[in-house]
Amino acid sequence: MPQGKIIKALSGFYYVLDKERIIQCRGRGVFRKNKITPLVGDEVVYQADNDKEGYILEVLERKNELIRPPISNVDVALLVFSAKQPDFSPTLLDRFLVLVEANHINPVICISKMDLIQDEKKKKELKQFVQDYEKIGYQVFEISTKMERTIQELRPVLEGRISVIAGQSGVGKSSLLNVLKPELELKTNDISTHLGRGKHTTRHVELIEIGGGLVADTPGFSSLEFIDIEASDLSYCFLEMRERSVDCKFRGCTHVQEPKCAVKEAVEKGEIPSYRYEHYLQFLEEIKDRKPRY
């Protein structure tokens, strides 16, 4: 039986990419009974009635899945944050990073509108943030639509992978995509009309070929709440804490009040940026205060 990848889901139809052709498929009736919902990004086994239509017989095992946006098997999350307008927010970036790490997706940080920073003090502050995140182990790209070369440098990150783009409104996500694939003609600060997502049309997730990979046409994470993350797992979503937690005296150390905590020692020595630790404590309280779900 042939296999392919779902690149679009719309009105009960799943559009399966198999090499060069796209087959419009319906799911098997048994999927609903077994509570299986095929997602964009799924690798599937299908049966083709002809060159254009068929049925999905089986959804293969996923390596990850997101609920909002509904997509699976994501390799990379491009987290786009602007240097200015809106101002760079390390708190919001860390929130995104936690959500991405929790879903076992590789985050890549893009700081856009670098050309807008003229103030030397602000420039120095931003460079320090870049160095901090690179030291942790993240790829950081400083980009500007006025310097197209900086955006083209992202292509190797996208190649051969499924990527999602996330970030605040107005940070330049559409501008970035327009440079990578001009024929998209996405309106900046507007909804994509090219892909049928106007105000009165059905919103859907679609994978489009960009830079040798597939990029999700989606607004990114519509929920930034830590719904599925437990307090005991939070430190594993901070790479520098994950590495050091093995050296804590107590197993299951929360890095708050326990003695001989390797994470707190690293913060005191300046090896972990204090703002990262403060964000950890803030997020930990948020998770603890979360109302239980039944």
Produce one character per residue of 3-34: b if its CB has 16 or more CB atoms within 10 Å, e if not.
Answer: ebbbbbbeeeebbbbeeeeebebebbeebeee
Nearby residues of 202 by Cβ (< 8 Å), 6 or more positions away: 10, 11, 196
In a domain, 223, yes or no: no
Q: What is the pLDDT of residue 196?
A: 38
The Cα–Cα gap between 116 and 19 comes to: 42
Where is the domain boundary, 217, 239, 254?
A: 217
Tokens representing 185 are 């003609």
> Which band of pLDDT confidence, cut at 50, 70 and 90, is reported for residue 176?
confident
In a domain, 225, yes or no: no
Q: What is the pLDDT of residues 180-220, one digit of tens each?
A: 888 877 655 443 444 333 333 336 788 999 988 999 876 66
**Same domain, residue pair 136 and 165:** yes
**Same domain, residue pair 125 and 36:** no
**Same domain, residue pair 13 and 141:** no
Counted domains in the chain: 3
Q: What is the pLDDT of residues 11-66, one digit of tens each?
A: 889 999 998 899 999 998 888 888 889 999 999 999 998 888 999 999 999 999 98
In a domain, 119, yes or no: yes
Q: What is the pLDDT of residues 225-278, one digit of tens each?
A: 888 899 999 999 999 999 999 999 998 899 999 999 999 999 999 999 999 999
The reported pTM is 0.87
Domain of 247, in residue numbers = 231-288
**Same domain, residue pair 54 and 155:** no
Q: What is the pLDDT of residue 294?
A: 56
**Same domain, residue pair 280 and 178:** no
177 pLDDT higher than 90: no
Q: What is the pLDDT of residue 195?
A: 39
